[in-house]
Amino acid sequence: MTQFDTQYKEAIREIMNKGYEETNERTGHKIRIAPGITFRLNEGFPLLTLRKIPTKLFIAEMIWFISGSNKPADFVNKFTPIWKDFTEADGTVAAAYGYRWRKHFGRDQLGQLIMHLTQEPHSRQAVVVTWDPSDDGLYGQGLKSTPKKNVPCPYAFTVNIIGNKLHLHNIVRSNDMMLGSPHDVAGFALLQYILAAKLGVKPGMLTHSISNAHIYDIHYDQAWELLERENKHSEIIIDPQPDWFDRAEKTDESLVDEIFNLLNKQYHPLPVLEGMKIVL
């Protein structure tokens, strides 16, 4: 199995065998939870092969994020309908990650990260924040928060260039481990590869830290099925190009197909796990 397959399978095993079972108030579902799950990945591109992942979805999504748009109709809806569930009446996603990275806080965090690390590659201050503490979460009686169809799950990441490699640490408050986590890992790995190529270094360690790693009750059967799976799959190796960042900023649709083809010709996953539905 690949490095990610192995670590992901162990995380699922820990949650199912040792996790706490509780009922989530917001969704009404029972969930099994493990706190503080972390993946550390530095061998190949971390695309889960224990089940088939919809590859174009996370590619198009990350390109949309890099563009800084908060309107799914601008680009990402052409490739997946998933963001329609999170779109407000005005056509925007209130907490769109890319918009938060590039516009929401009055500065272009992502663009300035590239400029900063170009000028000072060994800086330890390359931090991008998605969570807005003035308006996200902490809602309830007597607490003021604007109602939103989604709030950020990956809420901050840091970038370090060490040993001529770009290392990205993604911090996630909540991950649906059966559906969301493999998708998020692949998406942020793609961001890491794009930033590394833009800055003229190689991709290094991707660290994906999850505060609340959970499996919904409607996915328990699929989790047990996944734990029975093995896949002798070699690591996926891609060579990111320096122009990918600039093309993503311009929402170049051909970039989706280009990256998809690079991954897909090496990607030989096991079949999909049937019957998994997203919990909103």
Terminal-residue alpha carbon distance, the chain: 31
The CA-based dihedral angle spanning residues 231, 194, 61, 145, taken in that order and rounded to the nearest 10 degrees: 110
Q: Is 153 marked active-site? A: yes
Single-letter amino acid, residue 33: I
- 43's CB contacts (< 8 A; 6+ apart) are 2, 3, 235
Spell out a b/e string for 243-268, using b for 16 or more CB atoms within 10 Å of the CB, else e: ebbebbeebbeebbeebbebbeebbe
For residue 16, give the nearest of 273, 215, 278, 177 by alpha carbon: 215
Whether the CB-CB separation of 153 and 191 falls below 8 Å is answered with no
DSSP state string for 127-161: EEE---TTTSS--BTTB-----S---SEEEEEEEE
Measured CA angle at 155 (ends 188, 39), to 5 deg: 50
Give me the residue label for tokens 């690949």: 2
Whether the CB-CB separation of 242 and 197 falls below 8 Å is answered with yes
Backbone angles phi, psi at 204, to 5 degrees: -115, -125
Whether the CB-CB separation of 82 and 57 falls below 8 Å is answered with yes
Query: Which of these is catalytic: 41, 63, 151, 153?
Result: 153
Where in the sequence numbering do the catalytic residues fall? 153
